[in-house]
Amino acid sequence: MTSSSPKKDRVVANLSDGGSGFAKYQDFFVGKRGARAFLRYELTVMMTGGLRGALGYLLRKKLYPGLMGQTGKSVNFGRNITLRCPPCIVLGDNVTIDDNCTLDARGADDAQGFAIGARTLIARDVIMVVKQSYLRIGADCSIGSQTTLSAVSGISIGNHAIIAGQCYLGGGRYRTTLGAGPMVEQGLETKGPVTLGNDVWVGAGARVLDGVTVGDGAIIGAGAVVSKDVPPLAIVVGIPARQIGTRDVN
C-alpha cells in the first residue's frame, strides 16, 4: 500500500479562507447558504435538539429529516446530535441515531458522500467525520458507543457489520517535512480508504487504520490494531494484528 498524494485539510482551509463569519457558519454547519436554510437549521436544532421525553423524540422525528439530503421512513434521532452539512447526509429506512452523536459531512466529495443504510443503529457518543472523500455504512449494521469513524480517503462498511464500542476506523497523517511550513498546512496523506466487507465483527477498542481492507465474515479481536488487509473469514488479534484462525464453515 502506498500513500496517496497530499491533500489540504478542507476544514482548516475553509476556516482560514476569507469571507464573513456568517458565511463560514453556514458552510461549516448548515451545509448551504441562504436565509431559509439557515433559519430552518437554527430553529430545528435550537428548539428540538436537546428536548427530552416523548415530545422531543417526536419533534426530531418530524423535523430533522428536512435538514438531511435524503431520509427514509421512520428514522429515529436522539438528543444533542451534532449535525454538520446535513444536506450531504443520506439515511435509510429505520436508521436510529442515539444521543450525543456527531454526524459531520463537511468534507464529503458529493451531495451523498455520507450515507447510512436501512435499519442501522448508531449508538450514543459516536463520532462520524468525513474530513475528505466519503463515509458509507451498509444496512443492518451496529456501530458501538464512543466509536470514531474518521474518513480521509473514504470509509466503506458492508451490510450486517458489527463494530463494538470505542473503536477507531480510518484517519491519516499530516506531512512532517522540515522546512515545508507548519505541519497543519502541509496537507494530509493516507494509504487509502478503509473497506469493511459484509458480516464483519470488530471487537471493542480495535483500530482499523487507513488503507486496510477487511474481507467478508472476518473477526477483529478487541484492542487489535489492524494495519494490513484481513482475508475473508479470518480471525485476527493483537498489536499489530495477526491471524490466529478462521471462522468455522458449517
Domains of the chain: 10-246 (2.160.10.10)
CB 164 within 8 A of CB 143: no
What pLDDT score was predicted for residue 183? 86
CA-angle at 113, arms to 116 and 48, nearest 5°: 60
Write down the pLDDT at residue 1: 44
CA pair distance 5, 14, nearest whole angstrom: 20
Q: Which three cell numbers stand for residue 198?
A: 459484509
Sign of the alpha-carbon dihedral angle for 178, 179, 185, 189? negative
Residue 20's pLDDT is 74
Note the pLDDT of residue 11: 53
Tell me the three cell numbers of residue 166.
470505542
pTM of the model: 0.88
> Which stretches in the chain have pLDDT values below 70?
1-19, 111, 250
Question: At residue 48, what is the residue type?
Answer: T
Q: Which pLDDT value is given to residue 2? A: 45
Cα 105–chain centre separation = 8
Q: Is-contact 191 211, C-beta < 8 A?
A: yes
